[in-house]
Amino acid sequence: MGNARDSNPLSLWPAFRKYRGARSPEYDVWAYSGLEDAVLDGRHNVIIRDRRYDRDMLIKEYVCAILFSKRQGRNNCHVVSPDWVDREVPRYLQSIEGLFKDLRCFHMLFDSGELTEPVDALFTSNAILVAFLEDRVPDAKPNYAYWAVLLGLQRSIPVRIEAVDLFVSSLGVDGQTSAVHDHRGTPLSAKGSRQDHPSIVLENKRIIHQYARGLQRTTSACVSTVTGRWKQDSPGIYSSLNLPRSDSDCLLIELHTSLNLHETGNFPYQSKLSGSITVSFAHDWFHTHRWKCTTRLSYPSRWHHNRDEYFLTTYGFHCSGCREEKSNCDCGDFRGLNVPFPATKFDTLLKLAEDYGNAELEREAGRIGARPMGRVHETATLPTLHGANNFLRNIAMYQELWSFAPGSSVWIRQAIIFWRFKSTPQGLPQPLPASTTWRWLSIYDPLWKVHEENIIIDP
């Protein structure tokens, strides 16, 4: 694989090696070795020649300097022109970003769109930028060893998210009864019809409402994008955070769940909310570990009697010997762990969110009734449940996964799962799916001063 100190670690990445191996320098300048150095400069906002440069523009400068030197000057370069660079650099970055999307340090290499980096006009200490000002290839090189450590974080992934499913099921509905009643025995519609919950028949006559189903992923981000908003809104849970000093010490994951709120929150008798969060083991030896989960959940004081509501619980949910008949394991299917979800507490929060949404709909209905008829239709299609969405966005929750290895004397924290919630907009012509998007989180921040001090080695 080469020496990390002498080779750009991007060039050693299997998917990128395959990508470059299929391209010929004769027809494609991106096959030249050395161009990947442009991706490792690590800056996102700079000033060059009194002009503000974003990430793509900075890489264009790097590419031009390298390619012009290989073609022995601008006049002899029949491939490269300013227009060509403007066109091809974004295409190139888009194509190679897909090769690295699983990296836990993706946000350190590519712009995540969440940076708020201030523009700094003083770059005389940056040898690479000075070289660009002088229209030459930089003598300074990216710190390959430093970047190799960041890419090496892939080797310390203990678990992966496989599925997230939040739903309401009922033991009191068999799909044949003509009337559906609530816990007081009252029909859930004027006619007492099963049409109040049409998904009963479609979902094995048991699942009556799906809050979220399906899983997508996006690229990594700094953990501060999640915890930063907790400092003010959820001080109780923020103060309980004990983030690792290094990403190699503990895996950080974010689950951002879009919830399909129920119109009324009224469900049949014996209904309950369930959460199925499945993770898979990255290594077989984790099957022999005992596992437990600690859940912390809160929502801001302004939503609950002027105090910060805080909830904490710990479950043991997997032990070695899970396939044995008398095992006390709760993980179910041995191919993956089912992480306990605080369904009872969260059910209360969902009812509050649905109450906020219903109250807003009633207020909106009153406003529409007072408007001229020409404005009623115009407003009726606007997304609603903003109050419910604001409530859900202010829920703070994280879960710690701990494992206990055979022969060990201590529990090891393997992962922290950070949760964010929102509601799907109502009233859209094409409703958005209620699903979960997950990504890696990292304590490493591309704006850290220590990062900027380590990314480049001067000759």
Q: Would residue 314 count as lying in a domain?
A: yes
Domain termination site, one of 153, 184, 199: 153
Q: Would residue 453 count as lying in a domain?
A: no
Per-residue pLDDT of 153-207, as tens digits, reads: 999 999 999 999 999 888 765 544 444 444 344 444 433 333 444 444 334 447 8
Domain shared by 23 and 130, yes or no = yes
Going from the C-alpha of 428 to that of each of 212, 227, 305, 391, 401, the distances in angstroms are: 18, 31, 33, 20, 38
Question: Where residue 166 sits, what CATH number does that domain have?
Answer: 2.70.50.80
pTM across the whole model = 0.80
CA separation for the pair 260, 270 (Å, rounded): 21
Domain shared by 379 and 281, yes or no = yes
Q: Would residue 448 count as lying in a domain?
A: no
Phi, psi of 247 (to 5 degrees): -65, -20
Say how many Å lie between the first and final Cα of the chain, rounded. Answer: 24
In this structure, the strands spanning 215-217 and 436-442 are parallel
Domain termination site, one of 134, 153, 172: 153
Domain shared by 88 and 52, yes or no = yes
Residues above pLDDT 70, as percent of the chain? 62
Record the tokens describing residue 362, joined without a space.
Answer: 């009633």
pLDDT, residue 338, reads 85
Domain shared by 308 and 327, yes or no = yes
Phi, psi of 365 (to 5 degrees): -65, -40
Q: Would residue 451 count as lying in a domain?
A: no
Domain shared by 200 and 346, yes or no = yes
Domain count, the chain: 2
Q: Would residue 402 count as lying in a domain?
A: yes
Per-residue pLDDT of 4-33, as tens digits, reads: 567 888 888 888 888 877 776 555 656 655
Domain shared by 181 and 307, yes or no = yes
What residues pair up with 422 in beta bridges, in sequence order? 258
Q: Would residue 174 count as lying in a domain?
A: yes
Domain shared by 236 and 120, yes or no = no
Domain shared by 177 and 145, yes or no = no
Q: Would residue 145 count as lying in a domain?
A: yes
Domain shared by 148 and 161, yes or no = no
Domain shared by 165 and 140, yes or no = no
Domain shared by 342 and 380, yes or no = yes
Domain termination site, one of 114, 130, 153: 153
Positions of the chain with pLDDT lower than 50, given as ranges:
1-2, 72-78, 115-122, 175-205, 306, 368-385, 429
Domain shared by 242 and 379, yes or no = yes
pLDDT, residue 145, reads 92
Which residue range(s) make up the domain with 16?
9-153
